Amino acid sequence: MIQSFVLEVPADTGVQNIAIPDISFLRGKFVTGIEAYCFETVPNFPNANSTTATAAQLKNIFLQLYIKDPTNSAQEDLGIYVRNIAMIDLLNVAGTAAPFRYEQYELDNLYIQWDKCAFIFGTAPNNNTAFTIAMNIYYSSSPTRKIGEIAGVMDNSIIDWLVSKVSMLEAYIKKLTSGK
């Protein structure tokens, strides 16, 4: 399934990052892919109040995702941040001036807590008009993995392995610092 998402960057904002609000429709869903759009390919995205960001603007924007364990609803659940996903890398629609991927940016059913995610700007935008960051987010309602497990690591998905190792490390550090 697919859900469109737009976030307007106000004119003369001058901020280094913009938090992504909670996307209630995607709460409890598992993200399988993300794609971005730019002015050169889709100038006016539906439900947007301003034109879509240009390819040059997307080169300066990075996506930060917060991935969480869906089985642990405890307050102490520590997720992991995946930082600096270049928005320009999420383009998969060919345009005249915009680079693009030949395939969708795939994620292996990640449980993302959207209200802890953000768009980070390499340098604060120097825009005198507002622009829109536009994405399509592909998701599933079930956590079934698309790829089989091989020797404890998901094939073509090192992020799964990293998430599990970081979670284990966080638990170990927490245990050490609590004196137990």
Strand order in the sheet with 80-86: 17-19, 118-121, 61-67, 80-86
Domain ranges of the chain: 2-147
**pLDDT value, residue 5:** 94
In the chain, % of residues over pLDDT 70 = 78
In the chain, % of residues over pLDDT 90 = 38
- Decide if pLDDT at 53 tops 90: yes
Q: Which residue has the tokens 């383009």?
A: 91
Contact 62, 122 (CB under 8 A): yes
- Decide if pLDDT at 51 tops 50: yes
Compute the distance between CA of residue 175 and CA of residue 153 in angstroms, rounded to an integer.
25
Contact 43, 139 (CB under 8 A): no
Read off the pLDDT of residues 61-106 as tens digits, 9 standing for 90 and up: 999 999 987 776 666 667 888 989 999 989 877 665 666 666 677 8
Contact 13, 133 (CB under 8 A): no
CA distances from 74 to 25, 69, 70, 77, 180 (A): 22, 10, 10, 5, 19
